[in-house]
Amino acid sequence: MTYQRIIYISIFISLFFCSCKKKRESDEIKPAIPAEVIQPRSDSTTSSYKPTRLIKADSLYVVQSALIKVSAKFDPTLAVFQTQSKYDVKVYRVEYKTEYDGKIITASGIVALPFGENKAWPTLSYHHGTVFADSDAPTNNKNDQFVIASLASAGYVIAAPDYIGFGSSTGITHPYYVAKYSSTTPRDLLIATQELLAQKHIASNGKLFLAGYSQGGNVTMAVSKSIELNPLPGYNLTATAVGAGGYNMEGIFADITSRTEYSSPNYIAYIIQSYRKTYHLKDSLNYYFKEPYASRVDKLIDGKTDGSVISNNLTSHFDSLIRPEFVNAVKNGTDINFSTALKENNLHNWKPTLPLKIYHSDADEVVPYSDSEFTYKTMLDLGSTSVSFVQIQGKSHGAGSIPMIADVINWFNSF
């Protein structure tokens, strides 16, 4: 943790409770139809069915714009908000309905509402990066909530899902890099956000922006593709920004597994375990991993263990971690199930028609920079004229988000 980050957190802790709203209120919405007959995907513009998603919204606190501006002086991630923070923000913990494995489940997320002017607000769906432990999901992480509040203070209603497997949906193995749930979970929170705005008599101007970095970039790409193909009533998708997300899953798998070392073995273990659980694959962990690591993965990818602990209990040496028989079976197509799962979750091979910016650092050590280059080229080859590419120079995977945030806010404001 950097010295500046320590200062920022100290300021946040000391001032946070002075600025927050202590009274906790619960705003509960009763669904118009029973939950068991809800049709989660009946949200196209051609359907007369009006979906309900919101279960309840608990008011957490108020964050003052002045606090955001002070904190932004000490945290480079938030630097842009020294000038862009304009409004105080009400932060809510929201529970809503979404679909997983053919069933309706309760998911959760943060919704942050700017206030102080009687105006119609745009909406920004914000998607966080990879988390392994529920304690790091937005509804449990005060630092992430502060980032979300900072985004809202620039004049956006923010909808930030925990993702399935975290918050109110713990007990499910998070479907990591599964495009279906990466799109439906944020979509359903956006519908729930509309319902919350209606209850609070807050106007929306209909403009919708999407943004995310790392896994959040992948989630954002999935949502953007989904909404372009199947628009959300009440929203006009205006612009999308994705950063270092990983979109060509087949290419990423081939790239990472061709290395002798990979500094983040927790990510590859996460993807394998996600696909095993989501697609109900029957192969044991010993098919994918060598011992002693095969025996550890179930206990490590449990929704409770921190990512650094997971990596420390695995190894960065691929020849010691992953069975070459598995890798070869995927590459030559004889492992049909895993190969199909990778292919189903590709997000690089479609044609955006609305503004989309792809950000990536050329020094990224976690997600291959070449993946974003390939995605951009593929979209151009498919005829897209609305996609652009921003090369961030010399930044690590984590640090690459800083220049992206500053550029994205200014870009979104231009609309």
User: Which residue is it, tokens 């002075």?
Assistant: 18
Instruction: Indicate the domain borders of the chain.
Output: 3-247+349-413, 249-344
Domain 249-344 sits in CATH at 1.10.260.160
* pLDDT tens-digit readout, 346-405: 999 999 999 999 999 999 999 999 999 999 999 999 999 999 999 999 999 999 999 999
Same fold yes or no, 3-247+349-413 and 249-344: no
pTM of the predicted protein model:
0.89
Task: Spell out the per-residue pLDDT of the chain, length 415, in tens.
Answer: 443 444 444 444 333 433 343 333 333 333 332 232 233 444 443 333 356 899 999 999 999 999 999 999 999 989 999 999 999 999 999 999 999 999 999 999 999 999 999 999 999 999 999 999 999 999 999 999 999 999 999 999 999 999 999 999 999 999 999 999 999 999 999 999 999 999 999 999 999 999 999 999 999 999 999 999 999 999 999 999 999 999 999 999 999 999 999 999 999 999 999 999 999 999 999 999 999 999 999 999 999 999 999 999 999 999 999 999 999 999 999 999 999 999 999 999 999 999 999 999 999 999 999 999 999 999 999 999 999 999 999 999 999 999 999 999 999 999 9
Domain 3-247+349-413 sits in CATH at 3.40.50.1820
Phi, psi for 223 (deg, rounded to 5):
-65, -45
CB 288 within 8 A of CB 272: yes
* pLDDT tens-digit readout, 164-196: 999 999 999 999 999 999 999 999 999 999 999
